């Protein structure tokens, strides 16, 4: 079955994630990180998008992008293919560098936009690699040294403006905000669940409850057919979920799931 088209964000903001194949490291030394930062600069010039935050971790990457021109796939594909070519040539290897298709999640409101910046900046702390202010490969450095950097990667002014409007605080308040605990850790971490090769049933149930707002899972089988099928198709969009697993979680037959997905495939043509 062909891949489902990505749902467009009303705010045009997306949380994107790339991870090394088999969870392997994609950055080994400083020049590797610098190469990817340069690719971000290059794609910004080529595709005219805004970058709100980013972090380059040893085996994965988070990017918070505002894509007014609806070229998200081209942006990430350009970064990934260019870096893979550099990486394979440098380390004399062949094959994929990144795992599967890149993952993205719509970011629909200011609350989520700001909390996602905080989540991305806290990645080195969460991984017990470094403190936020000492980690060189994230956008946090550009926020702390905002007025000292001549050539920035991140559109810091946009986020600081949103933070000022939403919270009535300046840059100092924003930096303090970055160090506080996340208010919706479960929601932003779901993208990382999707990066696995296979999800557990409880994680699929978590998605249905938190992302679709349906808390009585067994009631789905009693919904009107069109509404039920739409829910099935949205669940099927998650990487790592099988039709058999959807049937098991929802309490319907595999044939019901197959028909719902087949109908969506016909629409694509």
167 & 211 share domain: no
Residue at 145 is within a domain: yes
129 & 236 share domain: no
56 & 129 share domain: yes
Residue at 254 is within a domain: yes
Give residue 243's domain range.
Answer: 196-268
Q: Is residue 159 within 8 Å of 64, Cβ to Cβ?
A: no
- In degrees, to the nearest 5, what angle opens at C-alpha 102 toward C-alphas 97 and 103? 140
If phi > 0 it is left, if psi is from -120 to 50 it is alpha, else beta; for residue 131 that is beta
What tens digit of pLDDT does each residue of 90-127 get? Answer: 999 988 999 877 788 888 888 889 989 999 999 999 88
Q: Is residue 220 within 8 Å of 264, Cβ to Cβ?
A: no
- CATH, residue 86: 3.30.70.1290
175 & 205 share domain: no
Residue at 152 is within a domain: yes
Cα–Cα separations (whole angstroms), residue 65 to 4, 14, 167, 222: 21, 5, 22, 39
Q: Which residue pairs, CB below 8 angstroms and at least 24 apart, start in 27-36?
A: 27/56, 27/57, 27/58, 27/59, 27/137, 28/91, 32/87, 32/90, 33/136, 33/137, 35/83, 35/86, 36/61, 36/79, 36/83
Q: Is residue 207 within 8 Å of 234, Cβ to Cβ?
A: no
Tell me which of 181, 204, 228 is where a domain ends.
Answer: 181
pTM of the entire predicted model: 0.70
What tens digit of pLDDT does each residue of 191-250 get? Answer: 565 555 567 788 788 888 877 888 888 888 889 999 999 999 888 877 667 888 898 989
DSSP code of 168? S
Residue at 190 is within a domain: no
What tens digit of pLDDT does each residue of 34-53 get? Answer: 999 999 999 999 999 999 99
167 & 247 share domain: no
155 & 253 share domain: no
Q: State the Cα–Cα distance between residues 67 and 125, nearest whole angstrom.
A: 28
* Structural domains of the chain, count: 2
108 & 24 share domain: yes
264 & 159 share domain: no
77 & 147 share domain: yes
Residue at 116 is within a domain: yes
């Amino acid at each position: 079955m062909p891949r489902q088209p990505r749902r467009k964000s009303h705010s045009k903001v997306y949380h994107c994630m790339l991870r090394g194949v088999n969870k392997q490291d994609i950055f080994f030394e400083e020049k590797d990180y610098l190469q990817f930062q340069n690719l971000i600069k290059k794609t910004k010039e080529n595709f005219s998008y805004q970058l709100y935050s980013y972090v380059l971790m040893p085996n994965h990457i988070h990017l918070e992008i505002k894509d007014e021109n609806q070229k998200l796939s081209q942006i990430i594909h350009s970064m990934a293919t260019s870096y893979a070519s550099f990486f394979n040539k440098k380390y004399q290897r062949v094959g994929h560098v990144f795992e599967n298709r890149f993952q993205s999640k719509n970011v629909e409101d200011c609350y989520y936009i700001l909390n996602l910046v905080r989540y991305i900046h806290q990645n080195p702390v969460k991984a017990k690699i470094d403190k936020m202010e000492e980690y060189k490969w994230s956008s946090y450095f550009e926020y702390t040294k905002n007025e000292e950097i001549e050539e920035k990667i991140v559109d810091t002014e946009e986020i600081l403006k949103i933070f000022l409007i939403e919270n009535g605080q300046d840059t100092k308040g924003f930096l303090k905000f970055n160090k506080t605990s996340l208010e919706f850790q479960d929601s932003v971490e779901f993208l990382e669940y999707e990066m696995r090769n296979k999800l557990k049933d409880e994680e699929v149930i978590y998605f249905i409850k938190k992302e679709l707002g349906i808390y009585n899972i067994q009631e789905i089988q009693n919904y009107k057919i069109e509404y039920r099928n739409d829910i099935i198709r949205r669940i099927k969009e998650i990487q790592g979920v099988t039709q058999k697993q959807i049937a098991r979680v929802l309490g319907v037959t595999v044939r019901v799931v197959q028909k719902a997905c087949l109908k969506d495939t016909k629409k694509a043509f």
